[in-house]
Structure formats: structure tokens, C-alpha cells
Chain A
Amino acid sequence: MAQRQSVFRDETKLDINYVPGRLPHREHHLRLLKEFFSFALEAPEKMAQRVLITGDVGTGKTALSQRFGLEIAHESSIRGIKLRYVHVNCREYRGSLFFILQHVVSVFHPNFPKRGYSAEELLHTLVQVLDDEKTHTILSLDEFDSLIEKEGPEAVYKLTRLQEMRQNKPQRLSLICILRGPEMLGKLDVSTRSTLQSNIINLQKYSRKELTDILNDRVSLAFKPLTVPEGSVRLVSELAYSEGGNARFGIELLWRAGKYADAEGLNTVIPDCVRKAASSIVPAVKKSELTTFSLHEKLFLLSIARLFKENQKATVSLAEAERAYAIACEEFDVSPNSHTQLWKYLKDFSNLGIVETEVSGTGSRGRSTDISLPRTPVEELEKTLRTLLDEESDKT
């Protein structure tokens, strides 16, 4: 069989988890972040820092923090300083402080027991572990919103004030909190808010020109030379700009366009590949977002997508969605979650802009919640969820 030609040189450079060596148009922010943490390379035990990174989806918050993490870890190892950077996506841990802390502890002790203590105990255990390792840790809490949402002000207060509760002892834990907008901080008490808001790095949406620079950078890393014409990059950047200056969307689109070129046996990623990729991508929900959902969130969303696909209706009720979800649970051989839990999932979907909900009261007895999917192509959503669920059941 003839070897298949590909436009890609290294497609992993377009992966969501790839941290680029250079962050175009975020150099200044990276310098600022390093400045905030310069003490960690001089006198890591003497102080701790808290920094807030805010910005919309795809403005480079995660990449900025991870790039910083890699660089400071490298620099500290050269200088022989014990420093760790730990990046945690709070949403992946359902916003639970307990699971987040457990993950951090497991970085140092992979076989640390998973049960038998409370979140509060775990917080003190973490400090003990860091003392034992004599290591200063910079904990980056990505999607910090979900931690605030789940745990409320008390837990966040304890986390941010951990160092102050142990005066005259080595400072072990610094925080980087990453969230979309500072509005969520309104849910915290005044003192926690003021602690967090002292150092803010706000990332503005990328302009068309900035997006083009970022995409060109990735093209040179991920694609073979001369396989992506300027016009295609411009088109991707235009589409990413219309998605709110979302670089992540642009990079995902670039990857998908490359896949279309490969599938059609083309030597170059022509603009039409970009158009096809753009029409097939789920606009309101990126695959990267769906992967962070739990099994039941995926099942519930799949049920909603199926209902819309079957009925061609503008809205479906929560009761209908629940019935469809019960069938999906049977299909995947899992017990369905309660009504309250589903209602919470629906609220999360709505916050993420995947669905819209409205409480209808008139014309029927009681109140019911109507669900609509205004911006999401149902078939694509169903297909993506189905693939993810199949992958998940293959793993188990």
C-alpha cells in the first residue's frame, strides 16, 4: 500500500494540551506574571503570591499560565531551588476542593489514599506534604469559576488564606486563579476578594492581526512547509475573530481543515477545506469543552440532542429530556441521576451557552422548564457526544 501523504508535519502542535514555546501578543503578560513570582526564585520560603488571570474563552489564559509554569520550573531547577508548578483544571474535578487538593497531593505522593479524611484535613495535609518536600508550589487553578460555584466563599477563603494561618513558617503555596471574568468573584466575601484582586492580569480578546500571527506560528510548527496558503490562514483567523477572538477555536479549526485536506488527498489546505471544517465544527460547543463533562452530563446532553433530532421542535421540556435521559442510561447500563442533579446540569449547560432555558408557567398546571438549542447543530452535537461516550465505554 502506498504511504499516505499528509499536510501535517506534527499535528500534536495543534492539540489543546500543547504549550507553545512562544506566546505571540502575550509576551508582556508573561513578563508581568514572572515579575509577580520573581520572589520564588530569590526567596521562595519568605512569601507567597496570589494572581488572578482573567479573559474570555480562547484569549490564552491557560497557555499563559502553563508557559509560565514550564519556564519557572526550568529556571528553578537550574538554580537548584525546590519549586513545583501544578496546573489543575477545576472543572475536571467537578469544582470540588477535596478532589483538587487530592490531585495536588498525588503529584508528590501518587499512592496517597483516596479516602478517610475531609477536605479541611487534606488542606493541612497538603501543607505538611509541601513542608516535608521543602518545596514551594505554584498551584494554578484553571476554570476557578467552577470551584467558587461548587464550594462557595468559605473553601476559597481557607485556600487563599492558608499561608496566613501559619505565621512565621516557610511559605509553601502560591496561587494562580484563572477565570473568564471577575464577576464570579462577587460571590466571595470581601476579604477573599481583596486578597485575590491585588494582582490581576486581564487578557483582552485577540484582534484579527494577532490571531493571524498566532495561527501562522502554529502553521509553521504543525504543517509541512507551503501546505497552508496565506488565504486559508486569513480565513481561519476571520472565523476565530467572529467567535469572539477565540484563538483556541482557530487552532482547532486549523487542525480540522488539515484533516479535510488529508481526507481529500490534497497537498495544500485550501480555503474550501477551512469552510468545510467550519461548517462541521460545533459552533456553540467545542469538543474540548465536551470532554470535560462527566458521563451523566454527556448522557443528558446526548438525550437532549436526540430529542431535537427526532422531533424537529423548537423546544423540549425538562420532563421530556429526563425521560430520554433515562433511556440513554439504560443503553449505557448506568443508573440515572436524580431530577435535582439533572436540573443542575441544565443550569451548567445554560451557563456555558450550549442550551437556553425558560420557565413556562401559563397554560398548564405547575411550572415547567423549556429547553432550546439555538446555536448548536444537533446532529454534530449528537455525533460528537456519541463518539466521546463510546471512547469512554471502551476505556472501562
Chain B
Amino acid sequence: MNVEDVFSSKLRMKILRTLFDVGELNASELARRLKINYVSASKHIKILEDEGILQHKVFGRIRLYRYNEQSAKAKAVQNLIEVWERYDKK
């Protein structure tokens, strides 16, 4: 997927920002926090995971999503959010 396609979705950006803030969450909790439905949250999470930005860990029936620590893309996104927030606060 092209970079513009990945970042063109407001919901995907919100998911990335939420995970940047809290570290890790399951899909239901992400959906609840963003006030969207589970299916929609799962769809966007899958896109971000396919791009290698997110990864998940499975504990029993629970699947927790977080940034992929090995991914350069994930690091770049986290950098972007961090810089953006720092300048927004000034």
C-alpha cells in the first residue's frame, strides 16, 4: 500500500496515536476508545499490521496490538507523532 493510502484514513491515524499513548490494546478496547465498531477497528488494524507497522501477541483468547518493535516504518510513525505532539504543545 502506498504511504498516502496508509495515512489517508483518520481512523488509522487515531489507532496509531492511541497505541502510541497507551502502548498496547485489544481490538475491542481500541474500538471502544475511538467510538467506532469492532469490525471497523479490526479492518484498520489489519491494514496497519499488513504494513508491518503493528504486531500482535496472543494470550489465550486475547490479542493485544502494539507497534512492531522491529519495524522501521513503526519507528518512523512513532517519531512523527512524537515530534508532532512536542511542537503542538509549544
Contacts and interface: CB of A to CB of B under 8 A. Distances in A.
A187 interface: no
Contacts, number: 36
B59 A128 contact: yes
B26 interface: yes
Contact of B23 (A111, A117, A132): A111
B1 interface: no
A116 B62 contact: yes
A127 B59 CA distance: 10
Contact of B60 (A109, A110, A111, A128): A128
Contact of B61 (A109, A111, A117): A117
A197 interface: no
B42 interface: no
A113 interface: yes
A130 to B, nearest CB: 11
Interface string A90-119: 000000000000000000011111001100
Nearest to B23: A111
Number of contact residues on A: which range applies?
Answer: 10 to 19
Contacts of A112: 59, 62, 64
Assign chain B's interface to a size class.
Answer: 10 to 19
B16 to A, nearest CB: 16
Interface in A128-177: 128-129, 132
A111 B25 contact: yes
B62 A111 contact: no
A67 B29 CA distance: 37
Given A109-B64, A113-B62, A117-B62, A132 B26 contact: no
B59 A125 contact: yes
Contacts of A116: 28, 61-62
A121 interface: yes
B29 A111 contact: yes
Nearest to A129: B59
Most buried by A among B26, B29, B59, B64: B59
Interface in B23-48: 23-26, 28-29
B76 to A, nearest CB: 24
B83 interface: no
A132 B66 CA distance: 15
A112 B60 CA distance: 12
Contacts of B62: 112-113, 116-117, 125
By Cβ-Cβ distance, the 8 closest A-B pairs, closest first, are A125-B60, A125-B59, A121-B60, A128-B59, A111-B25, A113-B26, A111-B22, A111-B24
